Amino acid sequence: MRTRSAATTPRLHRDRYTVTLYGSFVTWGWLLYSFNPSVPLLADELGITNAQAGLHGTAMAVGAVLAAAVTPRAVRRLGRRDALAAACVLLAAGVVLLATGTALPVTLAGMAVVAVGGNAAISAAQAGLADHHGRAASAAVTEANGVGSGIGLLGPLAVGACVALGWGWRPAVAVTAVLALGTAVAVRILPQGGGPGRTRRAGRAGASALRGRDVGPAREAGPERDAGHQRDGRRAVRASRWFLVTVVVALAVENATTYWATDLVRDRTGAGAGIATATTAGLVAGMTLVRFVVGPLSLGVSPARLLAGAYGVAIAGWAVLWTATSAPVALAGLVLAGLGYGAHYPLGIALLLGASGGATDAAQARATVAGGLAIGVAPFVLGALADAAGPHTAFLVVPVLAVVGGVAALAGARAWRTERPAP
């Protein structure tokens, strides 16, 4: 295990630009953790099957693919600030359509629009953080996701409260539109230049944000710089493929669980809809807690090893949840699973962006497409399996995916080290 001395360990600076970009993660976190647990309630309300309800994940995938296509171009043409603000406005419009829709085609269309805006906002903000913070990118990205899930923690509780009051799930989800518009305003009043607009300056170190932990010591400019960049490129191609797998698995596992954990808890424990939905907050609580721990830890400890360990923790949490027959035990399992889940995506995406050779927006676009497809497939497949064999049997998919993610994390780190020339 490689560690850093205090003198060389990068530090995370939370300036105005950083904190403002966190707003995108807050908005997206609220949407995910308020709507996803509401999917079984939406299915009951519309009288549709779990597989049909899982099509909202497919709609999200369509939006993610579209966002991946347009975001890099929008950032280049409009600048990161204006592109991010526009994405937040689009997200708010989609939420209004989703929260007011009373037929499946309408809610699916709303989710597609939400996904375009939300993924564009997260993609622009995430790449901006990586460029802005350079070698501290893993801490910045992890903390941003932690802030998002921290606020999102209130989402399942808000849904549970609204259901208990007889209002249904829609008012809780509609809060996302308010958060999105607030973020758009905050981003729009940022000064031009610097911060999220400087995609190729202070962030040059972001091309090797993880160097020194998984990708070797940082290279300084010198006679061998070009040759070093070529060697970096060869290692990055192999490593980035594995890191992309970790991102895909992370999104598939998280979304499949948040979509259908409510159904599993209702089926296995007999809990009411409000209580079962609120237990999802346990998953988000665990995710939030671990993100504020793993972010600083990743500055001195191999992020890939942390990521592999997190997949192991996720499997342990799944085992508790899967065997639970009471709501408190299911809640404990979700908290433990969250301690693993919370590290999956931010560490995976930080590793991927760190191996991008400076092309962070392009790498983020690839991750958005692949992750969007995972989000589109996983909830639908799990919903279809739940229709056929019940949610308990369907959830056996989760540990299989987690094993794949852990192996990919270690393989990615090894791929980078294997081709590194001897010092």
pLDDT tens, residue by residue, 235-245: 567 788 888 89
pLDDT at 227 over 80: no
Instruction: Tell the residue number behind the tokens 């997949």, with chain if given.
Output: 311
Question: Are the beta carbons of 383 and 54 closer than 8 angstroms?
Answer: yes
Q: Tell me, what's the pLDDT at 6?
A: 46
The reply to whether 5 falls in a domain is: no
The CA R_g of the chain, rounded to the nearest whole Å, is 20
Domain with 65, as residue range(s), is 16-209+231-418
| Cα→Cα distances 377→16, 122, 205, 255, 303, Å | 37, 20, 35, 10, 27
The reply to whether 2 falls in a domain is: no
Say whether pTM exceeds 0.85.
Answer: no
The reply to whether 224 falls in a domain is: no
Q: In whole angstroms, what is the distance from residue 201 CA to residue 254 CA?
A: 34
The reply to whether 398 falls in a domain is: yes
Q: Tell me, what's the pLDDT at 192?
A: 63
The reply to whether 9 falls in a domain is: no
pLDDT tens, residue by residue, 147-180: 888 888 888 889 888 988 889 899 999 999 999 9
**CATH number of the domain that residue 411 is part of:** 1.20.1250.20
Q: In whole angstroms, what is the distance from residue 179 CA to residue 188 CA?
A: 14
The reply to whether 360 falls in a domain is: yes
Quickly count: other Cβ atoms within 10 Å of residue 389's Cβ.
Answer: 11
| Cα→Cα distances 270→64, 274, 330, 335, Å | 35, 12, 11, 19
The number of domains in the chain is: 1
Q: How much of the chain is in helix, strand and coil states, percent to nearest 5? A: 80, 0, 20
pLDDT tens, residue by residue, 350-400: 888 777 766 777 777 788 788 777 777 777 787 788 788 888 888 888 999
The reply to whether 409 falls in a domain is: yes
The reply to whether 404 falls in a domain is: yes
Question: Are the beta carbons of 373 and 61 closer than 8 angstroms?
Answer: yes
